[in-house]
Amino acid sequence: MLDIKLIRQNLTECQTALQHRKENINLQDLIDLDDRRRATEQKRSSLEAEANDLQKQVGKLKQQDPDHPTIEQLRQKANEIKQQVADLSKQEEEIKQQLHQQLLTIPNLPHPSTPIGQSEADNQTVRTWGEEYKPTHPVMPHWEIGEKMGILDFERAVKIAQTRFVNLVGAAAQLERALINFMLDQHIKAGYGEVMPPFLVNSQSLQGTGQLPKFATDAFRCQEDDLWLIPTAEVPVTNLYRDEILDSEALPIKHCAYTPCFRREAGSYGRDTRGLIRLHQFNKVELVKFVLPGESEREHEDLVSDAENILQLLRLPYRVVALCTGDLGFSAMKCYDLEVWLPSAGQYREISSCSNFGDFQARRANLRYKTKGKKGTEFLHTLNGSALAVGRTMCAILENYQQPDGTVLVPQALQPYLGREYLV
């Protein structure tokens, strides 16, 4: 959530930044609403002071003469003012709530280093890796080789649930489990503390990370409870410290977490209808950081490197892309996508998004820190990234490790987990 003070002091710059995000939001309306709040607050405070002054007058008169004729008049006037104060307090709270709700719908401002652009076509490739590992022979799509090997079962998944679900059978289930353990082991070595959070969260948690209110239609909700299936581990892990004040000396805090993720994919009708790319349920290993504001840019680059390390150990070709303003996620001020090579399609596909949110999520979730010897608290910065989306990693392995004879090699880094050289 943006700071209304920041908007007031930098109205033109904030307006321009949102336009770069293709957001048609009139920030002056927010300023006008905040002016109403300020005016109401000022009037309420003035009347409270007047009521207090009248109470003091009543007290003095009672000491001089308990039966003084003006005591009742002053009391009546004070009571009238108190009622006005109560009415103004109610108005003030309503305006505050209205302002808060409007601020919740405004996306983060792009970082100055974020490329300006209209769509994903304007994203900038930062670097590529692993060209030498790209297959040079024809490759079947991952769903085709998976079904041929009998390890991906989409038909029975539709019977059990609906489309965009899959049953992983035999070697595929083992590969999924091996990938999860491998990723977690690597991130723990890199200094991340593992957590396994709840897979259901309340509305306040989704609001804290920016999924609510804007993306409610993309999430699965339990109708009888204030609970939602998580779209990503970012939600429960970021909310671990919601409404807490952390010691600055404890930062950075780095967590990794495996969770299943659930998404309606409401805005992707007709896209990636085959295979593992866009499912309603998928597994992911997530990295989340809580850092000091002055360190978030460096920590962001380190987080990207930690995600890249998984792809490099698996020897999967990929590229790193800096998202432009028009393709930036709602809560992010800067984001790098990691895109893995899928040879059957002859293109790179997203396998991780690594975002720096600045203090945007921290303001929504009230995540603060205190520095020893300094008064007050400040909002920390949050970061997160997939490292990696497990199903998409499996896609990449089934295609990039596919041999001309139709067999699939197991990446060397995973062989200790699976105990064999070939998948089947």
Joined together, the tokens standing for residue 137 give: 């022979």
pLDDT above 70 (res 267): no
Could you give the percent of the chain with pLDDT greater than 70? 99
Q: Same domain, yes or no, for 11 and 144?
A: no
Strand partners, 305: none
Residue 72 within a domain: yes
User: What is the spatial distance between Cα 201 and Cα 182, in angstroms, rounded to a whole number?
Assistant: 27
Residue 270 within a domain: yes
Tell me the pLDDT tens digit for each residue of 365-423.
999 999 999 999 999 999 999 999 999 999 999 999 999 999 999 999 999 999 999 99
Least confident interval from 68-72, 113-117, 322-326:
68-72
User: What is the spatial distance between Cα 367 and Cα 292, in angstroms, rounded to a whole number?
Assistant: 11
How far is C-alpha 55 from the geometric centre of its chain's CA atoms? 51
* Residues in Cβ contact with 42 at an 8 Å cutoff, skipping those fewer than 6 apart: none
User: What is the spatial distance between Cα 314 and Cα 253, in angstroms, rounded to a whole number?
Assistant: 27
Least confident interval from 63-67, 341-345, 414-418:
63-67
- CATH number assigned to the domain comprising residue 190: 3.30.930.10
Q: Same domain, yes or no, for 8 and 59?
A: yes
Whether 156 is catalytic: no
Cβ atoms of 402 and 139 within 8 Å: the answer is: yes
- Owning domain of residue 96: 4-104
Residue 110 within a domain: no
Residue 112 within a domain: no
Pick the catalytic residue from 23, 50, 295, 350: 350
Pick the catalytic residue from 353, 355, 368, 386: 353
pLDDT given for residue 73 in this prediction = 85
- φ, ψ (nearest 5 deg) of residue 222: -85, 110
Name the residue with tokens 């927010």.
30
Tell me the pLDDT tens digit for each residue of 73-99.
888 898 999 999 999 999 999 999 999
Q: Same domain, yes or no, for 127 and 98?
A: no
- In the predicted model, what is the mean pLDDT of residues 111-138? 97
User: What is the spatial distance between Cα 236 and Cα 244, in angstroms, rounded to a whole number?
Assistant: 15
pLDDT given for residue 58 in this prediction = 84
C-alpha to C-alpha distances, 41 to 78, 83, 184, nearest whole angstrom = 19, 15, 51
DSSP per-residue letters across 316-374: --EEEEEPPGGG--TT-SEEEEEEEEETTTTEEEEEEEEEE-TTHHHHHHT-EEE-TT-
Joined together, the tokens standing for residue 280 give: 């309603």
Number of domains in the chain: 2
Looking at 104, 132, 159, the residue that finishes a domain is 104
Q: Same domain, yes or no, for 278 and 139?
A: yes
Q: Give CA torsion, residues 201, 213, 352, 304, to 10 deg.
A: -90
Task: Name the pLDDT band for 269 (thresholds 50, 70, 90).
Answer: low
- In the predicted model, what is the mean pLDDT of residues 330-343? 98
Looking at 74, 104, 134, the residue that finishes a domain is 104
Whether 349 is catalytic: no
Pick the catalytic residue from 21, 263, 364, 368: 263
Name the residue with tokens 């489990």.
177
Residue 115 within a domain: no
Whether 119 is catalytic: no
User: What is the spatial distance between Cα 342 and Cα 394, in angstroms, rounded to a whole number?
Assistant: 11
Q: Same domain, yes or no, for 204 and 131?
A: yes
Query: pTM, whole model, 2 decimals?
Result: 0.93
Residue 46 within a domain: yes
Task: Name the pLDDT band for 154 (thresholds 50, 70, 90).
Answer: very high
Strand partners, 378: 369
- φ, ψ (nearest 5 deg) of residue 160: -75, -40
Looking at 104, 133, 158, the residue that finishes a domain is 104
User: What is the spatial distance between Cα 141 and Cα 220, in angstroms, rounded to a whole number?
Assistant: 29
pLDDT above 80 (res 316): yes
pLDDT above 80 (res 272): no
pLDDT given for residue 271 in this prediction = 73
Q: Same domain, yes or no, for 360 and 403?
A: yes
Average pLDDT of the residues of the chain: 96
Tell me the pLDDT tens digit for each residue of 164-204.
999 999 999 999 999 999 999 999 999 999 999 999 999 99
User: What is the spatial distance between Cα 136 and Cα 118, in angstroms, rounded to a whole number?
Assistant: 34
Task: Name the pLDDT band for 268 (thresholds 50, 70, 90).
Answer: low
Pick the catalytic residue from 21, 37, 164, 392: 392
Q: Same domain, yes or no, for 225 and 298?
A: yes
SS3 161: coil
Closest by CA to 107, choosing from 335, 287, 292, 329, is 329
Pick the catalytic residue from 278, 319, 349, 363: 278
Joined together, the tokens standing for residue 391 give: 């199903």
Cβ atoms of 316 and 341 within 8 Å: the answer is: yes
pLDDT given for residue 159 in this prediction = 97
Residue 298: is it exposed, middle or buried by C-beta count within 10 angstroms (0-12/13-18/19+)? exposed
Whether 224 is catalytic: no
Provide the residue count of the chain.
424
User: What is the spatial distance between Cα 126 and Cα 199, in angstroms, rounded to a whole number?
Assistant: 34
* Residues in Cβ contact with 247 at an 8 Å cutoff, skipping those fewer than 6 apart: 369, 370, 372
Joined together, the tokens standing for residue 395 give: 């896609």
Is the omega angle on the peptide bond into residue 213 within 30 degrees of 0, that is, cis?
yes
pLDDT above 90 (res 321): yes
Residue 424 within a domain: no
Whether 278 is catalytic: yes
pLDDT given for residue 187 in this prediction = 98
Q: Same domain, yes or no, for 265 and 352?
A: yes
pLDDT given for residue 226 in this prediction = 94
- In the predicted model, what is the mean pLDDT of residues 351-361? 98
